[in-house]
Amino acid sequence: MMTRQNNECARMLKDIGIISFVMVELNLYLDTHPQDQEAMEYFQHYRRMYNRMVADFSERFYPLNISTATDTQQWNWALAPMPWEGGF
């Protein structure tokens, strides 16, 4: 049974995944159109959004990358559930 916290965790991970996908697509576009200033502004916007979302997620649940694991007072990098343990 999914708890409210699990639902929120899943929703946040899904949103982070969507923003990550957008950034990869913009990255690929910018590789072939490096002078497109509007695309670069979009990329910077989504990069800031992604960083904020990852920091928020890491604060509420567990770190998603090593840089957010070291922002806390305790070492909680290994506390996230593994996929085979029902993790997201």
Q: What is the pLDDT of residues 14-39, one digit of tens each?
A: 999 999 999 999 999 999 999 999 99
Q: What is the pTM of this model?
A: 0.78
> What whole-number distance in Å separates Cα of residue 68 and Cα of residue 81?
16
What confidence category does residue 76 fall into, taking pLDDT thresholds of 50, 70 and 90? low
